[in-house]
Amino acid sequence: MAFKTGYVAIVGRPNVGKSTLINGLLQTKLSIVTPKAQTTRSRIIGVLTGDDYQAIFLDTPGYLQKPQYELHKLMLQRVREVIEEADLVLFMVEPYGIKAGDLAVLERIKEKKKPTILVINKVDTVRKLDLLPLIEEWSKKYDFLEIVPISALKLDGVDRLLDLVVKYLPEGPALYPEDYVSDQPERFFVAEIIREKIFQLYRQEIPYATAVEIDEFVEQDPEHGGKDYIRAIIYVEHDSQKGILIGKGGEALKRVGIQARQEIEAFLGRPVHLELWVKVRKHWRKDVNFLRRLGY
């Protein structure tokens, strides 16, 4: 049997479940997941290798029709680049009707004439009878290879979706070692875990106005009892945001640190000494050079 390898882009509007799907497909947590939209900001590679295939999944930020900041423009650019380089596209939508944002994503797919599987997520939240007219409506929009209803959260239909992904992958040799999971370094995932905790613990604009940079990462630092030493800087745009992030007596930031450290230790498989610092960098979302420094 011929070996198959290819890049698989997962695209869609914000909060349709792209990160939940990639985590489910790989059975490991690569992308942070929160109920808030626009959580994912970077392109994240997840590599899944089977006996006769290697699927290289590309998680992407939610597609924004009207970007407000340079950050949003860079996120949008990432989505376009991923669609262009993909061998196969998984276009994710929700089962609540066709939205303008969905059609905007579809236009990008049409431009590149990409082979695409339409993935209707969150089907556990609607009646099956309601899906049939939606599937019929979507089938008229593009010549999809398949239309697959799933619940990424409950892993319902995910195995079938993976079988179809493998079916449509092109033949070719593996591009990564068998045990390879992602091209991102540990620093990236540590920063993402901290950012996830901020999204989970704060409301309104605070999470969106924050960026996390790993300033120092020393493995098994003897000065900290042989634990990994991680110093992370959380950037905000205004002094008022800094005050909210830190909280009275530092209690709010302490909660972030405790929850982040526990998850970082589970991710790395070793003890960690984590220090968090909050700095104000005005209008960082509009600063292209700073965004490049952060890897966007």
Which residues partner with 90 through β-bridges? 10, 117
Tell me if 4-168 shares its fold with 186-293. no
186-293 adopts what CATH topology? GMP Synthetase; Chain A, domain 3 (3.30.300)
282 vs 207: which has the higher pLDDT: 282
For 10, the token pair is: 């997962």
Give φ, ψ of 87 to 5 degrees.
Answer: -85, -25
pLDDT of residue 15: 84
| pLDDT at site 57 | 93
How many CB atoms neighbour CB 274 within 10 A? 22
170-191 b/e with 16+ CB inside 10 Å = b? Answer: eeeeeeeeeebebebeeeebbb
- Please compute the mean of the pLDDT values over residues 198-203 and round it to a whole number: 88
Nearest to 174 by CA among 35, 52, 268, 279: 52
Three-state secondary structure call for residue 233? strand
Please, what is the average pLDDT of the chain?
87
Per-residue pLDDT tens over the stretch 75-129:
667 778 888 889 999 999 999 999 988 998 899 899 999 999 999 999 999 998 8
44-48, 139-143, 154-158: lowest mean pLDDT where? 44-48
pTM of the model: 0.70
pLDDT for residue 252 is more than 90 = yes
The predicted model gives 197-201 an average pLDDT of: 90
**β partners of residue 227:** 221
- Phi/psi at 169 (5° precision): -70, 145
The CATH homologous superfamily to which domain 4-168 belongs is P-loop containing nucleotide triphosphate hydrolases (3.40.50.300)
For residue 67, pLDDT beyond 90: no
Q: Please check the confidence at residue 48 and state whether its pLDDT lies above 60.
A: yes
**What is the residue extent of each domain of the chain?**
4-168, 186-293
Tell whether the model's pLDDT for residue 42 goes beyond 60: no
- pLDDT of 31 above 60: no
Q: What pLDDT does 93 receive?
A: 96
Q: How confident is the model at residue 34 (pLDDT cuts 50, 70, 90)?
A: very low
Radius of gyration of the chain (CA): 20
